[in-house]
Amino acid sequence: MTTALDLYPTRLAKHNAADHPAHIGRRDPVVHARNQHRWNGPLDEVALSHYERDGYLWFEGFFSQESMQPFFQELKDMANEPELLESDQVIADPASGAIRSVFGMHELSEKFSKLTRDPRILGMVRQLLGSEVYIHQSRINDKFGFQGSGFDWHSDFETWHAEDGMPRMRAVSASLMLTDNNEFNGPLMLIPGSHHHFVPCVGETPDANWTSSLKAQKLGVPDQATLAELGKRGGIQAPKGPAGSLLLFECNVLHASNGNMSPWPRSNLFFVYNSVENRLGRPYAANQERPEYLGARHKVEPLDVHDDFPELAGQGVAPLHGSR
Ligand code: 6CS
Ligand code: FE
């Protein structure tokens, strides 16, 4: 049996954690296809530089607020399907018991499946990853008014590397806001520039960690001294905007969110795109693979563009600059 080279060791045993640096330099490009004609896309040079520097791009009002309505409705319809609510793909909020996340959105609904193949989103993602792409994971994170709990600071890549065997940093999340995101309803917070560093985390992965980590993450959370260092360096940003706004964020950028203290729901859709050249291997720091709906290792066919959303026609058009 051969073990793949591990460029990003994490989930360290407590007794030798002290021997490891607080963070190590990123060993992968951020934009994987700079100046490669084949992967030209809608993002201009300014946008690519921002993404390179900050690890994310924010498009306020990418799609119109009204055009998100049918997608939000689809979500509400799904929440009324008793069979779905029973499934492991639905994660309950640790505090209220309401739906926190539903994984595998693109397989549960044709509408969301088509959205993963939207030419505008796919064009940007292929440009950033410099290859064909497939969906590694898709989910909705719901925070109902007054109820939704937050998420502690983490890098998604840390988990995908440790628990799913994702070898390199060559994935990007597209998060589409299906409701408004404001300062009160628990918007996503990010540390700009943190994607340039990998923070090894302490604590070995227990069996079936995902059965608890998706409710409240305990492992894969950087220590506070390191978070403070990176936070002081890059600051914290929380992009806010109307439903239809879009956030593209690099798989290793540190992010978190607070609970929803407002009367308004916060529903954000996440599609995680991975390069077809970065398929999953054996987990680097866990004894078992996670289920397919958390990390795809079989359904890895490159996505083809789907160009048939009359309700989204003429929106989100190039050239795209993005902003903080
Ligand atoms: O375990 C995971 O794959 C995930 N958990 C978090 C907190 N964020 C990203 C991803 O969905
Ligand atoms: Fe995350």
Can you give the pLDDT at residue 219?
93
Which residues are paired to 198 by β-bridges?
Answer: 24
Residue type, 45: E
Q: Which ligand is nearest to the CA of 211?
A: 1
Residues with CB under 6 A from ligand 1: 137, 139, 151, 154, 156, 159, 213-214, 217, 294
Ligand 1, residue 210: give the atom nearest the CA: 1
Give the model's confidence band at 322: pLDDT under 50 very low, under 70 low, under 90 confident, else very high.
low
Tell me the average pLDDT across 258-285: 96
| Pocket mutation for ligand 1, best pick of 100, 105, 139, 213 (most atoms within 8 Å of C-beta) | 213
| Average pLDDT of the chain to the nearest whole number | 93
Can you give the pLDDT at residue 6?
96
Ligand 1, residue 151: give the atom nearest the CA: 7
For the chain, the structural domain boundaries read: 14-312
Percent of the chain with pLDDT over 90: 75
Q: Which ligand is nearest to the CA of 212?
A: 1
Give me the architecture of the 14-312 domain, per CATH: Sandwich (2.60)
By DSSP bridging, strand 24-25 and strand 197-198 are antiparallel
pLDDT over threshold 80, residue 210:
yes
Reduced to 3 DSSP states, what percent helix, strand and coil does the chain have, rounded to the nearest 5?
Answer: 30, 20, 50
Residue-wise pLDDT tens digits, 50-81: 999 999 999 999 999 999 999 999 888 888 88
Can you give the pLDDT at residue 240?
95
Contact criterion met (CB below 8 Å) for 259 and 149:
yes
Residue-wise pLDDT tens digits, 90-111: 988 888 888 888 999 999 999 9
Residue-wise pLDDT tens digits, 132-142: 999 999 999 98
Give the model's confidence band at 320: pLDDT under 50 very low, under 70 low, under 90 confident, else very high.
low
Closest-CA residue to 7 (of 21, 24, 22): 24
CA of 1 to the centre of ligand 2 (A): 32
| Pocket mutation for ligand 1, best pick of 101, 143, 159, 189 (most atoms within 8 Å of C-beta) | 159
